[in-house]
Chains A and B, each alone.
Chain A
Amino acid sequence: MRTLFYILQKEFTQVFRNKSMLPIIFVMPLVQMLILVFAATNELRQVDLAIVDYDHSTVSREMIAGIAGNPFFKVRENLANSQEAENLLMRNKIDLALIIPRHMDKDLTTTKSAQVQVLVDAINGNAAQLSLAYLSSVIGEYNRKVVISRIGGENNPIKTIIIKPTYWFNSQLNYKYYMAPGILVVLITVVGMLLGGMNLVREKELGTIEQINVTPIKKWQFIAGKLLPFLVIGLFDLAFGLLVARLAFAIPIRGSLPLLFGLASVYLVLVLSWGLFISTISDTQQQATFVSFFSLIVFIMMSGLFTPVESMPDWAQKLDFINPLYYFVKIMRSVLLKGSNFSDIFNEFAALSAFAVSIFGLAIFRYRKTS
């Protein structure tokens, strides 16, 4: 134990003496929280819509007025023909084009149904569907009014089912509530996966590791010495990032903070061990950075941070069983937003612990004092 004390004393001294460490500790959380949380959004704020009206009837004008009155749409009217709308679509000036054919009003009266055409820029399929759905609901609403008035006005009892949703855990559908806990996970993952590993490879590059390898230092002591300082930094950054998120976005903290930090410690041991394992098989910082970054990107994209895991193919969902980020993103969101307690997230905790112990063991095993 005394040996470990001297190792930790040395590692902490070096880490905190390093002048680039302070910016890393403070600037990274600020940038990630204040920029990424805004940027990482699937919300559609405004859709550019062009309307070509060939009908010029009361009905078409009423419908257009209804659409233009909706703040979601930024409407361009008075287009001469559909060719003009297509050009705008081509040049990325609009997202949607609504084309109202001649005789819409007449068709509605004589045949009881009329058609309109909608052209959608579907490069981003998700946004395309969302904006179309929005437009459909606005037209649908107008449709309902038309139906009611033609049947005989407000007095006629028409039976419709109205959905009254109650949004749980995030009642205002605030996207930042959803993203901020996830970005916090990315934050401590980067700290964990890169800093510890880089530190170890640096000793290889400088040659100081040779001197360590001729001492009676045990392998686990050396790995623990590389892990603990960055565990502390990771936890500090989590606290700092959480504070920023709280102040900037007022994200709710419904669960227990000691529980969250306890789980974060397990998670950090896991990602730190992974970074250290990578550095035991790398000879240079370049190599280690490359491999760490590669695994980091795979872990993040698969984690459900940006895209729901439920919509991934079955095999991808199965792969997530070994993705540490998948578990911790889930834990973060549940504890912060739902106020989940320990038993609610026990499965995630168990998985993370099992991985943490085995990857830590792997890093120790793979570190060789003798080449």
Chain B
Amino acid sequence: MSDAAHAHDDHGHHAHPTGIMRWLTTTNHKDIGSLYLWFSLIMLFTAGSMALLIRSELFEPGMQLMHPDFFNQLTTMHGLIMIFGVIMPAFTGFANWQVPLMIGAPDMAFPRMNNWSFWLLPVAGIMLLGSFWLPGGAVAGGWTMYPPLFIQGGVSYDLTILAVHIMGLSSIMGSINIITTILNMRAPGLTLMKMPMFVWTWLITAYLLIATMPVLAGAVTMLLTDRNFGTHFFNAAGGGDPVMFQHIFWFFGHPEVYILILPAFGIVSQIIPTFARKPLFGYASMVYATGSIAILSFIVWAHHMFAVGMPVSAQLFFMFSTMLIAVPTGVKVFNWVATMWKGSMTFETPMLFAIAFVCLFTIGGFSGLVLAMAPVDIQLQDTYYVVAHFHYVLVSGALFSIFAGIYFWLPKWTGHMYNETLGKVHFWLSVIGMNIVFFPMHFLGLAGMPRRIPDYALQFTEFNQIATVGAFIFGFSQLIFLVLVLKTIKGGAKASDRVWEGAQGLEWTVPSPAPYHTFETAPVVK
């Protein structure tokens, strides 16, 4: 970063703080982007270790390693951290690094708020993880925080609710920053319909966040007052209704699902055209598809709760509206395939992850359609089929797109090419490991194995053992990724400014590594 420091001094600002203060007080979008991504990687290993503990317990039927309550704590925290501590911060990290570079802006719109957005996250992370050491242990009521369990638990439940508040605040501030940056700071000539797809998907994601995160904050506030201040929003003993929590939660929760995947669509839409050496097929339809998915995501929430009971007319409404989302999503998949069609494709690691994303995310999308059918869902509710479904969309979907994005932009960020052989080993181990973990879970679910239970019937043993072996392959292959990233930061072949032969866009016009300050005078887009 010494180059960056020079560049900074050249512009006559006062000197940087150094050491820890440099990172605590930084308002630079690249620094903050890196902080988000490192935080996300640390949390990935934390929550991933929890997943390996879960899979170890499930290697054999019966109780082996842990108390059932600790198992419940692990499943709950694994979910909460993977969603709020890994996927969302990683995407925000990408947004911080890439949005200003892609639209030709010198920084984010509100750099100080940006600093706050990030530094709230470790606070929330410490509160979540620290609750393992409190009396009663961490929260064990499931990441969806349903009452009555979440009204009855101990002090760690209050702490978790507070952590959700803080993470929500961080997301809202981050989103306000991203929207303001995109709407106000684009380079002259860069109209909305010329923006890179990644910027488009993040613009829409940020709107989703601003619309739904406050609703989640409201829901957990009601939990908090039910617990501590004698209100009865969800407490049936006082005339409240626990089912109402599920409605409010999923009103946030379903758009949240798209918050976790739309930026992934954006990243993949940058990578596939680059390595197919063709412009993105159907750019405008991609934009409209993203918008349609965002709007539809607000009217489908109750498909998460078919089994709690609702009138048939409501079941039909939520079933058909859910299926309708498959249309814009299908538009996207076909557009990616059409972009690759007759392209001069090469298969560097980012492209491999992007192609794996298209294939495996589609599997997850289809199992989602199966679950969208109300009569089928009542059978499959809370089985491993659901676990298989959402891991296909979140691991081979969101997480793989994050890997793809890191491989794609790491040379621009560090100035060094990563080790392609190591990258390919990481890819193949990940993609094989991931399928060994999660594919058998479809069959376990269809056979009736319930989720969130530390023990199971004997007939499920073999498939659980396969899944556990896959989990360890997948988990430990992520260490290769860590080594690769560290090696790339330290050194490696010099990356050119363009990095990739087929790369298009403003971020490839700045030097590699990207200087600390870029686009201080706005570039002009023709």
The answer to whether A and B interact is: no
